[in-house]
Amino acid sequence: MNIEHARFNMIEQQVKPWRVFDENLLGAMSTLPREQFVSEAQRGLSYADIHMPLGHQQSMLAPREIARLIQALKLTKEDKVLEIGTGSGYSSALLAKLAKMVFSVDIISEFVKSAQKIHRKLAIDNLIVEEGDACDGWMAHAPYDAILITAALPKLSDSLKRNLNKNGRVVCILEHNGGYTAALAQLGGNDKWQYEYLFPVDATLMINAESTNQFVF
């Protein structure tokens, strides 16, 4: 497989047609070797428009999906970012190319160690990956300008509010209208979450997050 050609096609045929226009993000995706974040057996599919199994009943979102999620954060080089759910470490690395500092947390030790190894190999020095349960936030380095959550949640925890700077924003995947939908959440003047729903997406429920059992028959 011609890796450079596959990466180019990913951007031109998958990411851009999905309304991803942020030039900094597209530039980051054009240089980051996604094939290094998957197993040897999966490398031939590393730029395909599919969810990639990671083990532990978790998966890596399709490139166009993670691109839309990150674009919605509208990151700047001054931002401090929290990622809840490191997974493969690919989205963490993209965030690090766009923000000042990134902290990523995962409850699965294998994911943490693998991502740390890859990030060291790529010499990414503004990214720290830690092991823990950040389902309700991660106060160790708070407050953050932006939070990315790539696993699904029944609802956004109020505990996350104290993790955010003023004008902070959260991009997450929530149960909505009988399925899962990507959403941008910000705090309104009444300290309530205000949502902008972005696009439907298949996702795995976050470990330790309980479903609302909203599917009523």
Distance, C-alpha 54 to centroid of its chain:
14
Find out whether 151 and 180 touch, Cβ atoms under 8 Å: no
Both tokens of 77, joined, read: 């080089």
Q: What would the pLDDT profile of 135-157 be if each residue is shown by its tens digit? A: 999 999 999 999 999 999 999 99
Share of the chain above pLDDT 70, in %: 96
Mean pLDDT of the residues in the chain: 94
pLDDT at 190: 87
Find out whether 81 and 102 touch, Cβ atoms under 8 Å: yes
Confidence of residue 209 (pLDDT cuts 50, 70, 90): confident
Find out whether 75 and 14 touch, Cβ atoms under 8 Å: no
Measure the CA–CA gap between 61 and 198, rounded to whole angstroms.
15
Domains of the chain, CATH where assigned: 3-200 (3.40.50.150)
Share of the chain above pLDDT 90, in %: 89
Residue found by looking up tokens 């996702």 in the block: 203
Higher-confidence position of 205 and 120: 120
Q: What would the pLDDT profile of 177-197 be if each residue is shown by its tens digit? A: 889 999 999 998 889 999 999
Nearest Cα residue to 165 out of 76, 67, 65: 76
| pLDDT greater than 80 at residue 215 | no
| pLDDT greater than 70 at residue 131 | yes
**Average pLDDT rounded to a whole number, residues 65-85:** 98
pLDDT at 13: 97
Measure the CA–CA gap between 43 and 74, rounded to whole angstroms.
30
pLDDT at 210: 60
Q: What would the pLDDT profile of 98-122 be if each residue is shown by its tens digit? A: 999 999 999 999 999 999 999 999 9
